[in-house]
C-alpha cells in the first residue's frame, strides 16, 4: 500500500540512497537506544565490582563467569520471589478470567435488568486511575469490609483487585456482542443451560480475545510495583520487583544487576512468544476505552 | 409453556395476560442466572473500585487512627497538606514532570512511527526492539537507570566523557534530578505510543498521499496536510492518556531519589504515599489523593469525549 513516500521516488538513485541512509540510522539508533542498555545490563552483571567502578568502562567483561547469577539467585532469594510472582500472576490470571468472562457473558448475552447500569459503573472505574485510590484500597485489603479479613501478605490481596478490571470486562463484552445470537438460541432450544452455552459455545469462539486478556492480565500483575509494595510487605511474600527493589541497597552492584537480568527474563520471554497478542491488546486498548 | 399453566399465586402486580406469570417467572429466572454470573465481579468491583472511591472522600474529611471511629474534621486535612512546604513542590514537580515528558516524549513516538511506516526492511526487528523496554518490569528499568546515572562510572557520564562533555550529577542535583526521572519514564514508555501510532498510520488511505503529491505537496506538507489530520484524534487521545499517566508518577521518585534533593523530585503521588506510610496520616494522604483525582478526572472526561468521537468515525 502507498504511504507517505511514493514508490516512484524510492526507485530513483537519490531516493535509494536516502532510504538506505534512513534505514541504517534507524536500525543503529534503535539498537543503541533500546538494545544496548540491555546488553550493558547483561554484561555488567558479569563484571566484578572493581571492573564496574573502572573508568573508562570495559566494553566486554574480562571474565565470562556466570557465578554472579548464582550468587544473585541465592543471596536475594530470587527463587522465592519468582515463585511468589508466578503464584500472584497465575492466580490473578485464572481469577480474572473466571470473574470477568462470566460478568461480560451475563452483560452481553443474558442482559439482566440494570445490566447497562452495572456496565456503566464498571466502565466508570476506568476514569479514575488506581493510583489516586491507593490509600482507601489499601485499607480495604487490610481490613475487608463486612468479611473483616486481613488480606495483607496473602495472594488474595493481588487476586481480588486484579479481577476488578473494567477494561477487561469491556473488551470481553464487546467481543461477546459480536457472536451471532442464532448460535446461542439454537443451543438454548436444545435445552443447554447458560453455563453450558458459555463453556461450549461462547468460550471456544472467543479464543482470540481471551488470549489478549490473559496476556494483559498476567503482564500487568507481573510488572506491578506499587500495589504489591503495599500489600505484601513481608520479605518472604514479596513479588520479584518489590523484592529486588527492597534488597537493592544491601547488595554488591554486580549481584544487583544480575538480579535485574533475571527479573527481566520472564517478561521478555513472554513478549518473544506472545508478541502478536500483546500488540493486538495494545491497539485494542488505545482506540477504545 | 408449562410454567404458565400452573396455578401458583401470582406475586407480581401485572395485568393477568394468559402467559404473564410464566413470562415473568422466566424473566425472573433469567435475571437470577445473570446476577449469579455477575456476583463475583460485583463483589470485586464493589470492594476494590467503588467503595474505595467513597472511602477516599470520607477519609479525607476525617481524622482516623483505625481503632476508634473516624472523627469528622472538615477541611483540616486539606489545610494541613496545603500548609506543608512540600505541597507546592509536589504539584510544581508533577506539572513539570508531565510537561517535560510531553516535550521530550510526546512527538518522538509519532516521528518514529512515521519513519517506521516508510521502511520496508527490518520491520519486525524495529517493532520488537522499540517495545522491549515496555516489557521490562518498571522497577527493573528504573533500577537499571539508577546505575546508568551513577555520577562516577555510570554509563551516561562515561558516554558524555567520550564526546568531551563534563560529567553531570544527574539524580544528585536539584537542576537535573527531575529531568533524569523524565528520561527513564520516556525510555520505558516510548514503545507503546510508537506502536499505537503505527497502527493508526496504516489505516490512512494511500490515495490521499497520491493526490496530495499530484497537487505538488512536498514531503513535509504531506505530513502536515494528510498524516496529521488523518491521525488527529488518536494524537489527541494519546496526549490526554500521557498526561493522566505521567501525573501519577510514583515509582521513579520512590526508587531513584526519595523525593530529593531538597524536594526537587517529590510528586503528588509520592507525597500521598509519604503521608500515609511514613507519617501515618491517612487523612492528609487521602486529601492529596482526592485533589489529584479531581485534576485527573478533568483530563479523563475530555479523553472520554474525544475517544467517543473516535468511535463514532
- pLDDT tens column, A77-103: 888 999 999 999 999 999 999 999 999
Q: Which residues of A touch B49 (CB under 8 A)?
A: 122, 125, 133, 164, 166
| For chain A, percent of residues with pLDDT exceeding 70 | 98
Residue recorded with cell 529531568: B179
Q: How far is the C-alpha of A89 from the C-alpha of A84, rounded, in Å?
A: 9
ipTM, interface predicted TM-score of the complex = 0.90
Cβ partners under 8 Å of residue B301, min gap 6: A127
Residue A42 φ then ψ, to 5°:
-65, -40
Q: Is A17 on the interface with B (CB under 8 A)?
A: no
Inter-chain residue contact A55 with B222, CB threshold 8 Å: no
Q: How sure is the predictor about B308, in pLDDT bands with cuts at 50, 70 and 90?
A: confident
Q: Is A14 on the interface with B (CB under 8 A)?
A: no
In this predicted structure, the answer to whether residue A162 has a pLDDT above a threshold of 90 is yes
Residue recorded with cell 494519546: B238
CATH topology for the B76-312 domain? MetI-like fold (1.10.3720)
What value does the mean pLDDT of chain B take? Answer: 87
Inter-chain residue contact A103 with B37, CB threshold 8 Å: yes
What are the start and end residues of each CATH 1.10.3720.10 domain in chain A? 70-287
- pLDDT tens column, A180-232: 888 888 888 888 888 899 998 899 999 989 988 998 899 999 999 999 999 99
Residue recorded with cell 516521528: B111
Q: Which residues of A touch B289 (CB under 8 A)?
A: 132-136
Mean pLDDT for the stretch of residues B85-102: 94
Cβ atoms B77, B61 nearer than 8 A: yes
pTM of the predicted model as reported, rounded to 2 decimal places: 0.88
DSSP structure string for A78-109:
HHHHHHHHHHHHHHHHHHHHHHHHHHHHIIII
Angle at A80 between CA A74 and CA A86, to 5 degrees: 135
Q: Is B133 on the interface with A (CB under 8 A)?
A: yes
Q: Is B62 on the interface with A (CB under 8 A)?
A: no
- pLDDT tens column, B22-65: 888 888 888 888 899 999 999 999 999 999 999 999 999 998 87
| CATH class held by domain A70-287 | mainly alpha
Question: Which DSSP state fits B46?
Answer: I
Question: Quick one: which of B44, B81, B26, B90 has its CA closest to B59?
Answer: B81
Domains of chain B by residue range:
11-60, 76-312
In this predicted structure, the answer to whether residue A58 has a pLDDT above a threshold of 90 is no
DSSP structure string for A117-179:
HHHHHHHHGGGS-GGGGHHHHHHHHHS-TTT----TTSTHHHHHHHH--HHHHHHHHHHHHTS
In this predicted structure, the answer to whether residue A38 has a pLDDT above a threshold of 90 is yes
In this predicted structure, the answer to whether residue B83 has a pLDDT above a threshold of 90 is yes
Inter-chain residue contact B42 with A286, CB threshold 8 Å: no
Strand partners, B71: B63
Amino acid at each position: 500500500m502507498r504511504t507517505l513516500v511514493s514508490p516512484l521516488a524510492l526507485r530513483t538513485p537519490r531516493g535509494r540512497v536516502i532510504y538506505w541512509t534512513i534505514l541504517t540510522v534507524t536500525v543503529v539508533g534503535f539498537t543503541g537506544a533500546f538494545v544496548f542498555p540491555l546488553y550493558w545490563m547483561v554484561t555488567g552483571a558479569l563484571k566484578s565490582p572493581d571492573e564496574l567502578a573502572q573508568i573508562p568502562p570495559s566494553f566486554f567483561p574480562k571474565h565470562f563467569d556466570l557465578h554472579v547469577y548464582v550468587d544473585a539467585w541465592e543471596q536475594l532469594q530470587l527463587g522465592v520471589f519468582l515463585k511468589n510472582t508466578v503464584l500472584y500472576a497465575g492466580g490473578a490470571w485464572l481469577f480474572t478470567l473466571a470473574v470477568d468472562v462470566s460478568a461480560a457473558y451475563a452483560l452481553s448475552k443474558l442482559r439482566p435488568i440494570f445490566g447497562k447500569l452495572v456496565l456503566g459503573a464498571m466502565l466508570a472505574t476506568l476514569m479514575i486511575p488506581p493510583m489516586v485510590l491507593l490509600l482507601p484500597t489499601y485499607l480495604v485489603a487490610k481490613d475487608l469490609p463486612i468479611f473483616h479479613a486481613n488480606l495483607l501478605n496473602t495472594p488474595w490481596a493481588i487476586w481480588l483487585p486484579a479481577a476488578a478490571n473494567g477494561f477487561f470486562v469491556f473488551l470481553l463484552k464487546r467481543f461477546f456482542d459480536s457472536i451471532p445470537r442464532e448460535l446461542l438460541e439454537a443451543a438454548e432450544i436444545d435445552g443447554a443451560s447458560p453455563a453450558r452455552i458459555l463453556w461450549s459455545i461462547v468460550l471456544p469462539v472467543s479464543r482470540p480475545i481471551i488470549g489478549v486478556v490473559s496476556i494483559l492480565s498476567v503482564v500487568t500483575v507481573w510488572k506491578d510495583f506499587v500495589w504489591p509494595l503495599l500489600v505484601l510487605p513481608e520479605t518472604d511474600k514479596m513479588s520479584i520487583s518489590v523484592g529486588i527493589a527492597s534488597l537493592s541497597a544491601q547488595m554488591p552492584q554486580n549481584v544487583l544487576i544480575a538480579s535485574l537480568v533475571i527479573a527481566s527474563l520472564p517478561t521478555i520471554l513472554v513478549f518473544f512468544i506472545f508478541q502478536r497478542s500483546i500488540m493486538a491488546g495494545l491497539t485494542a486498548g488505545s482506540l477504545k476505552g | 409453556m408449562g410454567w404458565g399453566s400452573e396455578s401458583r399465586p401470582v406475586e407480581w402486580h401485572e395485568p393477568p395476560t394468559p402467559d404473564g406469570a410464566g413470562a415473568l417467572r422466566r424473566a425472573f429466572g433469567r435475571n437470577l442466572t445473570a446476577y449469579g454470573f455477575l456476583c463475583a465481579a460485583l463483589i470485586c468491583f464493589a470492594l476494590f473500585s467503588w467503595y474505595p472511591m467513597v472511602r477516599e472522600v470520607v477519609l479525607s474529611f476525617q481524622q482516623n487512627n483505625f481503632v476508634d471511629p473516624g472523627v469528622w474534621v472538615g477541611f483540616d486535612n486539606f489545610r494541613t497538606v496545603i500548609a506543608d512546604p512540600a505541597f507546592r513542590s509536589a504539584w510544581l514537580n508533577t506539572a513539570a514532570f508531565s510537561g517535560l515528558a510531553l516535550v521530550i516524549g510526546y512527538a518522538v513516538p509519532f516521528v518514529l512511527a512515521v519513519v517506521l511506516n516508510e521502511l520496508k526492511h527490518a520491520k519486525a526487528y524495529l517493532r520488537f526492539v522499540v517495545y522491549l523496554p515496555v516489557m521490562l518490569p518498571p522497577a527493573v528499568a528504573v533500577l537499571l537507570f539508577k546505575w546508568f546515572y551513577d555520577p562516577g562510572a555510570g554509563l551516561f557520564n562515561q558516554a558524555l566523557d567520550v564526546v568531551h562533555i563534563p560529567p553531570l550529577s544527574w539524580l544528585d542535583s536539584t537542576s537535573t534530578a527531575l529531568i533524569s526521572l523524565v528520561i527513564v519514564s520516556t525510555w520505558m514508555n516510548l514503545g507503546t505510543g510508537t506502536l499505537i501510532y503505527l497502527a493508526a498510520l496504516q489505516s490512512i488511505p494511500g490515495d490521499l498521499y497520491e493526490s496530495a503529491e499530484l497537487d505538488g505537496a512536498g514531503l513535509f506538507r504531506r505530513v502536515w496536510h494528510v498524516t496529521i489530520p488523518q491521525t488527529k484524534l488518536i494524537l489527541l487521545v494519546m496526549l490526554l492518556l500521557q498526561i493522566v499517566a505521567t501525573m501519577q508518577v510514583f515509582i521513579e521518585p520512590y526508587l531513584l531519589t526519595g523525593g530529593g534533593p531538597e524536594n526537587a523530585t517529590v510528586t503528588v503521588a509520592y507525597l500521598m504515599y509519604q503521608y500515609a506510610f511514613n507519617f501515618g496520616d491517612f487523612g492528609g494522604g487521602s486529601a492529596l489523593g482526592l485533589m489529584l483525582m479531581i485534576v485527573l478526572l478533568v483530563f479523563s472526561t475530555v479523553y472520554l469525549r474525544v475517544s467517543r468521537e473516535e468511535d463514532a468515525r
